[in-house]
């Protein structure tokens, strides 16, 4: 059965155009910097994000880890959202591999960290204290609803951060979704950030890979650390070829995913037994709960949905996240709404 797969935008398979480009990609040994396709992807990424240089990395998790390892020393502290991917879903890499300590600050419902909370979390100079080195923002903020942070907010955080001699890293796994939501170029969203990670392998539909961008000096150090972590890759132009299509073409169509998420949410609001989050969706994620009077739990509904050909991701016993992407068309939106209606009645 061909499933409608809403578990994540990470499930996107490469497009036929990507597969053709991958088959024909000009390649070389990227550890020698000899792969022309990787070099082109890195130049394009740096240009689109308005930074000096970029590095192709196997995953978003590795990209974020590299940023933390470059910016921080062992024993340093990083201010992160308590609902951020870096804090919750990266296997504790910063502590395990970098000796870096997270300082979690509450994510507000709109995905931001309150400026006063950031300020209050910066350690004072004291022989007892760790040194605060870095603040991380996530844009779009996944767990808060796929909500896009604004360029104004990011600028305010950057001002606070830089005034206090800290650095700002943006986990921009879905930064192009944020850019599409605000209808501005991605570079405007990250202009004051010292480093940014974004993913090619999510809504941009590449099979593998993320990009880390920043200054030339930052990227040179990240390249060294990528090798240390075992992430130096060879004829990886095969993958970069898909990434170039992600950047040149797929970034321009994300609004379609957002419109479909909106239609899906509108449809699901009509289904008795479902409570779609107020305001959802902001981008390509619909978050919803089972109403209190529904006896089934999210696991059981997930199973029924699977039997009806729709894969969904239960967040907990009562909650779902549905993510639209390149392979979700209008028909899939309608089928999803009717599968939920059948599952609940
Ligand atoms: N997110 C995945 C899962 O890991 C939860 C998803 O389905 O949303 N930053 C953010 C904000 C992310 O959402 C993700 C992946 C990453 C980083 C990590 O990227 P990968 O999976 O490439 O390591």
Note the pLDDT tens digit of each residue in 27-43.
999 999 999 999 999 99
CB 5 near ligand 1, within 6 Å: no
State the helix-helix crossing angle for 16-24 and 237-248, rounded to 10 degrees: 140
Nearest ligand 1 atom to the CA of 7 is: 7
Compute the mean pLDDT over every residue in the chain, rounded to the nearest whole number: 98
Note the pLDDT tens digit of each residue in 261-315.
999 999 999 999 999 999 999 999 999 999 999 999 999 999 999 999 999 999 9
CB 27 within 8 A of CB 35: yes
What is the whole-number distance in angstroms between the Cα of residue 19 and the centre of ligand 1?
23
What is the whole-number distance in angstroms between the Cα of residue 304 and the centre of ligand 1?
26
SS3 22: helix
What is the whole-number distance in angstroms between the Cα of residue 295 and the centre of ligand 1?
31
Residue 345 reports pLDDT greater than 90 = no
SS3 191: coil
* Closest to 282 (Cα-Cα) out of 187, 189, 134, 143: 143
What is the whole-number distance in angstroms between the Cα of residue 342 and the centre of ligand 1?
31
Residue 133 reports pLDDT greater than 90 = yes
Calculate what percentage of the chain has a pLDDT beyond 70: 100
Pocket test for ligand 1, best of 11, 59, 61, 94 (most atoms within 8 A of CB): 61
Residue 200 reports pLDDT greater than 80 = yes
Note the pLDDT tens digit of each residue in 312-338.
999 999 999 999 999 999 999 999 999
What is the whole-number distance in angstroms between the Cα of residue 173 and the centre of ligand 1?
7
CB 132 within 8 A of CB 103: yes
Pocket test for ligand 1, best of 84, 202, 208, 211 (most atoms within 8 A of CB): 202
**CA separation for the pair 40, 312 (Å, rounded):** 36
Note the pLDDT tens digit of each residue in 140-151.
999 999 999 999
Note the pLDDT tens digit of each residue in 8-28.
999 999 999 999 999 999 999
Give, using CA atoms, the residue closest to atom 8 of ligand 1.
8
pLDDT in the model for residue 87: 98
Secondary structure, 3-state, 133-169? EEEEEECCECCCCCECCCHHHHHHHHHHHHHCCCEEE
What is the whole-number distance in angstroms between the Cα of residue 341 and the centre of ligand 1?
29
């Amino acid at each position: 059965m061909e499933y409608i797969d809403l578990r994540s935008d990470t499930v996107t398979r490469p497009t036929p155009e990507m597969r053709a480009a991958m088959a024909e990609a000009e390649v070389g040994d990227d550890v020698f910097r000899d792969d022309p396709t990787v070099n082109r992807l890195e130049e394009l990424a740096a240009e689109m994000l308005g930074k000096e240089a970029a590095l192709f990395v196997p995953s978003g998790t590795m990209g974020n880890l590299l940023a933390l390892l470059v910016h921080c020393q062992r024993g340093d502290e990083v201010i992160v959202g308590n609902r951020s991917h870096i804090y919750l879903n990266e296997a504790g890499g910063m502590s395990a591999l970098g000796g870096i300590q997270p300082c979690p600050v509450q994510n507000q419902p709109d995905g931001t960290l309150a400026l006063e909370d950031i300020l209050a979390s910066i350690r004072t100079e004291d022989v007892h204290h760790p040194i605060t080195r870095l603040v991380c923002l996530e844009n779009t903020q996944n767990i808060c609803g796929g909500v896009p942070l604004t360029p104004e907010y990011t600028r305010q955080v950057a001002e606070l951060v830089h005034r206090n001699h800290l650095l700002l890293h943006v986990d921009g796994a879905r930064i192009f979704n944020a850019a599409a939501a605000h209808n501005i170029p991605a570079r405007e969203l990250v202009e004051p950030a010292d480093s940014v990670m974004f993913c090619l392998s999510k809504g941009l539909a590449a099979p593998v890979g993320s990009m880390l961008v920043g200054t030339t000096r930052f990227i040179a150090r990240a390249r060294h650390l990528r090798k240390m972590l075992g992430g130096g890759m060879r004829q990886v132009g095969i993958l970069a070829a898909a990434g170039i299509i992600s950047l040149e073409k797929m970034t321009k169509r994300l609004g379609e995913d957002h419109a479909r998420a909106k239609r899906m949410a509108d449809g699901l609001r009509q289904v008795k037994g479902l409570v779609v989050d107020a305001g959802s969706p902001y981008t390509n994620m619909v978050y919803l709960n089972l109403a209190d009077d529904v006896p089934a739990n999210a696991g059981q509904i997930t199973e029924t949905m699977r039997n009806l050909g729709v894969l969904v991701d239960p967040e907990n016993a009562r909650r779902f996240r549905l993510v639209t992407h390149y392979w979700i068309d209008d028909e899939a939106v309608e089928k999803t709404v009717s599968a939920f209606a059948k599952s609940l009645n």
